[in-house]
Amino acid sequence: MKKSITVINGDGIGPEVTAQAIKVLDAIAGHFHHEFNYTYCLMGADAIDKTGNPLPDETIESCLNTDAVLFGAIGHPKYDNDPSAKVRPEQGLLKLRKSLQLFANIRPINTYIALQHLSPLKAKYLENVDFIIFRELTGGIYFGKKELSEDGNRASDDCVYTTPEIERVAHLAFQYAQKRKKKLTLVDKANVLETSRLWRKIIQQIATAYKEVAVDYMFVDNASMQIILNPKQFDIILTENMFGDIISDEASVLTGSIGLLPSASVGIGTALFEPIHGSYPLVAGKDTANPIGSILSAAMMLDYFQMPEEAKLVRQAVDWTLENRFVTKDIDTINFYFTSTIGDLVAEYINNKISDVVN
């Protein structure tokens, strides 16, 4: 099969982790006789530096006209510490999500037996943790009206949701639940927020069409605690934009490193695949960042291309590296491998050269 992919390296460690995912995609293409073509585009601080615009028109154009987008990371400290900055890297990603109408962000959380000792939680809490966070991605407080009064002493961000916005992401989440452990937890703050009460009402209505899925409702404060206390209870978590952002970072702690976690953003336009970690500028360019989140995002892209065998092989290769302690510095600060070496190892495994690699 022939597929065109827009690659947005972005900022910080984005380029080096994305390069490993491309290595892996190339290995898959070779092994399964596919042809993947890449178009490199700018976004984020990198794009501001080069063009003054965090999301140049050519980037949107390319994304709209290709089969998928592979994205690295976004953000630079010089903007984080300047609250008055008018142009910010993150605006690029938010505008891209909106332009491609990527209303659902899918974040799987799995724990690896080989890495259990790295989690601050005891192993008994981590076995069989396997859930997916469905985060609404184009609505809520992220996209509501933002205001700062003229005297600079009053600021507001509106949180708005409409029924269709909730319905479309909910249907997707229910469909996943049906194919999995048939449990869906809506995380909200319905004891306080009107938007949350609308979410609850709509989920209750939709649930009647998915009778085999057990639905429960959890306030976000309690959910934050439950993710740590008893993560096994979850199958699908469905939640709005901001809560999803926060609890997915929290859930990443269960796995041992946020560097391991992938995501897929899907909706109406071209789907986008990115690791959930940030740009981690402190180690940018040092070849020490963890590329697994990006590599597993490429695996999610292969699933989206309806290439399940290909996706499975990538996941097998990743499992093999972790089980054999081929890991980056975030996982083992003493016996660590470089970013590029991990990419090579995963690609080599795919090329069936495991014995050469080990010997």
Phi/psi of residue 37, nearest 5 degrees? -110, 135
210 is catalytic: no
Size of the site for Mn ion (CB under 5 A): 1
107 is in an annotated binding site: yes
Q: Between 81 and 149, whose beta carbon lies closer to ligand IPM?
A: 81
**Site of interaction with ligand IPM (CB under 6 A):** 74-75, 90, 93-94, 245, 276
End-to-end CA distance of the chain: 34
Minimal CB distance to Mn ion: which residue?
245
CA separation for the pair 214, 323 (Å, rounded) = 34
97 is in an annotated binding site: yes
Residue tagged 């690609």 (tokens): 347
Q: Is the dihedral of CA 199, 205, 207, 210 positive or negative?
A: negative
CA separation for the pair 131, 109 (Å, rounded) = 5
Q: Between 7 and 93, whose beta carbon lies closer to ligand IPM?
A: 93
Question: Which of these ranges, 154-162, 231-239, 242-250, 262-270, lies near Mn ion under the rule CB under 5 A?
Answer: 242-250
142 is catalytic: yes
What SS3 class is residue 273?
strand
Q: Between 46 and 245, whose beta carbon lies closer to Mn ion?
A: 245
Among 11, 16, 235, 245, binds Mn ion (CB under 5 A): 245
Should residue 240 be labelled a site residue for Mn ion when binding is judged by CB under 5 A? Answer: no
221 is in an annotated binding site: yes
Cα 307–312–318 angle (5° rounding)? Answer: 130
Binding track, positions 255-294, relative to Mn ion; x by CB under 5 A: ----------------------------------------
245 is catalytic: yes
Count of CB atoms within 10 A of residue 230's CB?
11
Candidates 290, 299, 336, 337; CA nearest to 317 is 299
User: Which of Mn ion, ligand IPM, none binds 190 (CB below 5-8 Å, type-dependent)?
Assistant: none
DSSP string over 299-356: HHHHHHTT-HHHHHHHHHHHHHHHHTT---TTT-SSS---HHHHHHHHHHHHTT-HHH
To Mn ion, the closest distance from the beta carbon of 277 in angstroms equals 9
Catalytic choice (26, 67, 130, 249) = 249
356 is catalytic: no
189 is catalytic: yes
Q: Which residues are catalytic?
A: 142, 189, 221, 245, 249
Which residues carry a binding-site annotation?
97, 107, 135, 221, 245, 249
What does the binding site for Mn ion look like in residue numbers (CB under 5 A)?
A: 245
